[in-house]
Amino acid sequence: MAIRSEQSRLAILQATIRLLDEREHGSMSVQQLSIERIAREAGVSKATIYRWWSSKAALIIDTFLENHITSTTIKEDLPAIEALKEHAISLAQVYSGHEGALMAQLIAESQYDEATLADFKKSFFLPRREMINAVIRRAMEEGAIRDDLDINQVAEHIYSPIYFRLLFKEGSLDRDATGLSFDITMQGLKPS
Protein backbone atom coordinates (compact mmCIF):
# COMPACT_ATOMS: atom_id res chain seq x y z
CA MET A 1 0.00 0.00 0.00
CA ALA A 2 2.40 2.66 1.18
CA ILE A 3 0.49 5.48 2.70
CA ARG A 4 1.00 9.13 1.91
CA SER A 5 4.14 10.54 3.46
CA GLU A 6 3.25 13.14 6.07
CA GLN A 7 6.87 14.18 6.05
CA SER A 8 6.75 15.10 2.38
CA ARG A 9 3.40 16.82 2.78
CA LEU A 10 4.77 19.05 5.51
CA ALA A 11 8.02 19.71 3.70
CA ILE A 12 6.05 20.91 0.69
CA LEU A 13 3.71 23.15 2.67
CA GLN A 14 6.55 24.63 4.64
CA ALA A 15 8.65 25.27 1.58
CA THR A 16 5.68 27.03 0.04
CA ILE A 17 5.04 29.25 3.02
CA ARG A 18 8.75 30.00 3.26
CA LEU A 19 8.97 31.06 -0.37
CA LEU A 20 5.90 33.26 -0.04
CA ASP A 21 7.14 34.73 3.19
CA GLU A 22 7.53 38.47 3.26
CA ARG A 23 10.77 38.45 5.18
CA GLU A 24 12.62 36.16 2.77
CA HIS A 25 14.76 36.95 -0.21
CA GLY A 26 12.39 39.09 -2.16
CA SER A 27 9.26 37.19 -1.18
CA MET A 28 8.00 35.67 -4.39
CA SER A 29 4.57 36.38 -5.72
CA VAL A 30 2.21 33.52 -6.38
CA GLN A 31 2.93 33.96 -10.06
CA GLN A 32 6.69 33.76 -9.62
CA LEU A 33 6.40 30.78 -7.35
CA SER A 34 6.89 27.57 -9.33
CA ILE A 35 6.24 23.93 -8.58
CA GLU A 36 9.80 23.36 -9.69
CA ARG A 37 11.13 25.69 -7.03
CA ILE A 38 8.92 24.37 -4.27
CA ALA A 39 10.01 20.81 -5.04
CA ARG A 40 13.66 21.81 -5.01
CA GLU A 41 13.25 23.77 -1.79
CA ALA A 42 11.30 21.00 -0.09
CA GLY A 43 13.66 18.26 -1.22
CA VAL A 44 10.75 16.54 -2.82
CA SER A 45 10.02 15.17 -6.25
CA LYS A 46 7.86 17.27 -8.52
CA ALA A 47 5.73 14.21 -9.15
CA THR A 48 4.84 14.05 -5.49
CA ILE A 49 3.40 17.53 -5.65
CA TYR A 50 1.48 16.82 -8.82
CA ARG A 51 0.18 13.62 -7.28
CA TRP A 52 -1.50 15.42 -4.43
CA TRP A 53 -2.35 18.88 -5.70
CA SER A 54 -4.06 19.67 -8.95
CA SER A 55 -2.54 23.09 -9.35
CA LYS A 56 -0.22 25.62 -7.83
CA ALA A 57 -3.24 27.52 -6.51
CA ALA A 58 -4.64 24.44 -4.79
CA LEU A 59 -1.33 23.96 -3.04
CA ILE A 60 -1.25 27.55 -1.91
CA ILE A 61 -4.78 27.35 -0.60
CA ASP A 62 -3.79 24.29 1.42
CA THR A 63 -0.78 26.16 2.67
CA PHE A 64 -3.02 28.96 3.89
CA LEU A 65 -5.39 26.59 5.61
CA GLU A 66 -2.49 24.84 7.31
CA ASN A 67 -1.18 28.13 8.59
CA HIS A 68 -4.46 29.52 9.94
CA ILE A 69 -4.05 32.54 7.78
CA THR A 70 -6.64 35.31 7.56
CA SER A 71 -8.97 34.11 10.22
CA THR A 72 -10.94 36.81 11.98
CA THR A 73 -13.17 36.08 14.89
CA ILE A 74 -16.59 37.51 15.46
CA LYS A 75 -17.51 38.84 18.81
CA GLU A 76 -20.79 37.18 19.72
CA ASP A 77 -21.47 39.31 22.80
CA LEU A 78 -21.85 42.59 20.94
CA PRO A 79 -25.01 43.85 19.26
CA ALA A 80 -25.08 42.30 15.78
CA ILE A 81 -24.31 45.54 13.92
CA GLU A 82 -21.33 46.26 16.06
CA ALA A 83 -20.08 42.70 15.77
CA LEU A 84 -20.29 43.04 11.98
CA LYS A 85 -18.49 46.34 12.07
CA GLU A 86 -15.70 44.98 14.22
CA HIS A 87 -15.37 42.05 11.89
CA ALA A 88 -15.18 44.25 8.81
CA ILE A 89 -12.61 46.49 10.39
CA SER A 90 -10.36 43.68 11.55
CA LEU A 91 -10.62 41.94 8.18
CA ALA A 92 -9.57 45.13 6.42
CA GLN A 93 -6.65 45.47 8.77
CA VAL A 94 -5.48 41.94 8.06
CA TYR A 95 -5.77 42.69 4.35
CA SER A 96 -3.68 45.82 4.61
CA GLY A 97 -0.55 43.73 5.15
CA HIS A 98 1.23 40.86 3.48
CA GLU A 99 -1.69 38.53 3.86
CA GLY A 100 -3.79 40.95 1.89
CA ALA A 101 -1.36 40.71 -0.98
CA LEU A 102 -1.52 36.93 -0.89
CA MET A 103 -5.30 37.01 -0.77
CA ALA A 104 -5.35 39.37 -3.74
CA GLN A 105 -3.08 37.02 -5.65
CA LEU A 106 -5.32 34.08 -4.89
CA ILE A 107 -8.26 36.00 -6.24
CA ALA A 108 -6.13 36.76 -9.26
CA GLU A 109 -5.31 33.11 -9.81
CA SER A 110 -8.98 32.30 -9.50
CA GLN A 111 -9.66 34.34 -12.62
CA TYR A 112 -7.76 31.79 -14.67
CA ASP A 113 -9.22 28.58 -13.38
CA GLU A 114 -12.77 27.63 -12.41
CA ALA A 115 -11.59 24.93 -10.05
CA THR A 116 -9.31 27.31 -8.20
CA LEU A 117 -12.12 29.79 -7.72
CA ALA A 118 -14.38 27.03 -6.44
CA ASP A 119 -11.69 25.71 -4.13
CA PHE A 120 -10.89 29.19 -2.94
CA LYS A 121 -14.49 30.00 -2.17
CA LYS A 122 -15.07 26.68 -0.48
CA SER A 123 -12.05 27.07 1.75
CA PHE A 124 -12.23 30.74 2.65
CA PHE A 125 -15.53 32.21 1.73
CA LEU A 126 -18.16 29.77 2.69
CA PRO A 127 -16.86 29.03 6.21
CA ARG A 128 -16.59 32.72 6.93
CA ARG A 129 -19.91 33.46 5.34
CA GLU A 130 -21.64 30.93 7.52
CA MET A 131 -20.37 32.73 10.55
CA ILE A 132 -21.24 36.13 9.22
CA ASN A 133 -24.61 35.06 7.93
CA ALA A 134 -25.60 34.02 11.43
CA VAL A 135 -24.77 37.49 12.66
CA ILE A 136 -26.63 39.09 9.78
CA ARG A 137 -29.63 36.96 10.61
CA ARG A 138 -29.35 38.13 14.19
CA ALA A 139 -29.21 41.73 13.00
CA MET A 140 -32.35 41.16 10.99
CA GLU A 141 -34.07 39.78 14.02
CA GLU A 142 -32.87 42.72 16.05
CA GLY A 143 -34.48 44.95 13.42
CA ALA A 144 -31.18 46.56 12.45
CA ILE A 145 -31.15 45.21 8.90
CA ARG A 146 -33.98 44.87 6.40
CA ASP A 147 -35.25 41.31 6.55
CA ASP A 148 -36.59 41.26 2.99
CA LEU A 149 -33.16 40.84 1.46
CA ASP A 150 -31.17 37.80 0.50
CA ILE A 151 -28.58 37.24 3.17
CA ASN A 152 -25.79 36.70 0.67
CA GLN A 153 -26.54 40.02 -0.92
CA VAL A 154 -26.27 41.73 2.44
CA ALA A 155 -22.92 40.07 3.02
CA GLU A 156 -21.82 41.17 -0.42
CA HIS A 157 -22.56 44.79 0.38
CA ILE A 158 -20.56 44.58 3.55
CA TYR A 159 -17.55 42.89 1.97
CA SER A 160 -17.36 44.39 -1.48
CA PRO A 161 -15.87 47.80 -0.56
CA ILE A 162 -13.08 46.03 1.32
CA TYR A 163 -12.19 43.81 -1.62
CA PHE A 164 -12.46 46.74 -3.96
CA ARG A 165 -9.83 48.60 -1.97
CA LEU A 166 -7.69 45.51 -1.63
CA LEU A 167 -7.61 44.79 -5.34
CA PHE A 168 -7.37 48.32 -6.66
CA LYS A 169 -5.12 49.60 -3.90
CA GLU A 170 -7.38 52.60 -3.90
CA GLY A 171 -8.58 54.17 -0.70
CA SER A 172 -7.41 53.10 2.72
CA LEU A 173 -8.00 49.87 4.60
CA ASP A 174 -7.48 51.47 7.98
CA ARG A 175 -9.96 51.47 10.87
CA ASP A 176 -11.56 54.84 10.19
CA ALA A 177 -12.07 54.46 6.47
CA THR A 178 -13.42 50.95 6.81
CA GLY A 179 -15.72 52.04 9.63
CA LEU A 180 -17.10 54.93 7.62
CA SER A 181 -17.62 52.72 4.62
CA PHE A 182 -19.41 50.19 6.80
CA ASP A 183 -21.69 52.84 8.25
CA ILE A 184 -22.70 54.01 4.80
CA THR A 185 -23.47 50.48 3.73
CA MET A 186 -25.50 49.88 6.87
CA GLN A 187 -27.47 53.01 6.28
CA GLY A 188 -28.58 51.45 3.05
CA LEU A 189 -29.40 48.12 4.63
CA LYS A 190 -31.44 49.20 7.59
CA PRO A 191 -35.24 48.93 7.43
CA SER A 192 -36.97 51.99 6.10
Residue 87 binds a copy of itself, judged by CB under 8 A: no
Are the C-beta atoms of 152 and 136 separated by less than 8 Å? no
CA gap 141, 109 in Å, rounded: 38
Q: Which of 40, 121, 122, 175 binds a copy of itself (CB under 8 A)?
A: 121
Query: What distance in Å separates the CA atoms of residue 27 and residue 19, rounded to the nearest whole number?
Result: 6
Nearest to 132 by CA among 124, 44, 184: 124
Q: How far apart are CA 125 and CA 71, in angstroms?
A: 11
110 binds, among a copy of itself, DNA, none (CB under 5 to 8 A by kind): a copy of itself
Shortest CB 65 distance to DNA, Å: 18
Residues between 127 and 156 that touch a copy of itself (CB under 8 A): 149, 152-153, 156
CB 123 within 8 Å of CB 60: no
How many C-beta atoms surround the C-beta of residue 122 within 10 A?
A: 11
Footprint on this chain of DNA (rule: CB under 7 A): 1-5, 7-9, 11, 34-37, 43-48, 50-52, 55-56
In whole angstroms, how close is the CB of 125 to DNA at the nearest point? 24
Q: Which residues bind a copy of itself (CB under 8 A)?
A: 29-31, 101, 104-105, 107-112, 117, 121, 125, 149, 152-153, 156-157, 159-161, 163-165, 167-171, 180-181, 184-189, 192
